[in-house]
Amino acid sequence: MSEKLIPLPNNHEHWIHKLFSISPSSDGPLVLTEQQYAVYWPLVDGFWMHTNTQRHKHGKSISHYYSCRLGKGRISSKAERFPAENLSGKSRVTSFRSPVECCKMRIKITESIPVPGKFKTYTVEQVIPRDATNCFQHNHTIEESWKRKRSSFLTNIIRDELAKGYTPAQVKDRLKGTGRAGGYERLESVGGAFIDR
């Protein structure tokens, strides 16, 4: 097996935190080039759940709306707090998500439609509910988001490396680097702390 590590995008930790902690700024919304979006959005797409897409009437942009994956509009009255003790007689027992986990973060990504002389851009901004008195932030850590769902960046790497014939253990070693100082930190920096062999 090659000792070469699987490459990670430049400044990936900076961009992961930036795209996780979207908040209103005096500098305006975060604007990404098409290349930046292609490189950095797959690192964080597991944090967000797509909820809606709107094509604007003037035809110059498309807005994509996302909510935090750890958010949930309401707690199901049929959810079982202790799934192992199925006393309700339900054939399928759902997991219970406590109200503390219900993150209210929402974002909008506005994708510009390229026109001659202009490059495509992606504008990322927080969506503030009309009844909100304060801006929302995530009420949990990045690690909690990664534990719930891996990013497409990580899942694509795993799939591609397995297709090359590497074993799951070898893929993990190529991500973190066997015997290398800071190897686990490298793996954790892209959410790899929660991958299994």
Between these two residues, 178 and 62, which has the higher pLDDT value?
A: 62
**Sheet-wide strand order for 30-33:** 30-33, 121-126, 106-112, 61-68, 48-55
What would the mean pLDDT of 69-85 be, rounded to a whole number?
A: 59
Task: Report the distance separating Cα 69 and Cα 46, nearest Å.
Answer: 8
Between these two residues, 82 and 134, which has the higher pLDDT value?
A: 134
What would the mean pLDDT of 173-181 be, rounded to a whole number?
A: 70
Question: Tell me, what's the pLDDT at 132?
Answer: 60
Task: Report the distance separating Cα 187 and Cα 77, nearest Å.
Answer: 38
Least confident span in 36-45, 118-127, 146-155, 164-173: 164-173
Q: Where are the domains of the chain?
A: 12-135, 150-197
- 74 pLDDT higher than 70: no
User: How far from chain centre, in Å, is Cα 7?
Assistant: 19
Question: Tell me, what's the pLDDT at 95?
Answer: 54
- 90 pLDDT higher than 70: no
SS3 content of the chain, % helix, strand, coil (to 5): 30, 15, 50
What integer best gives the mean pLDDT of the chain?
80
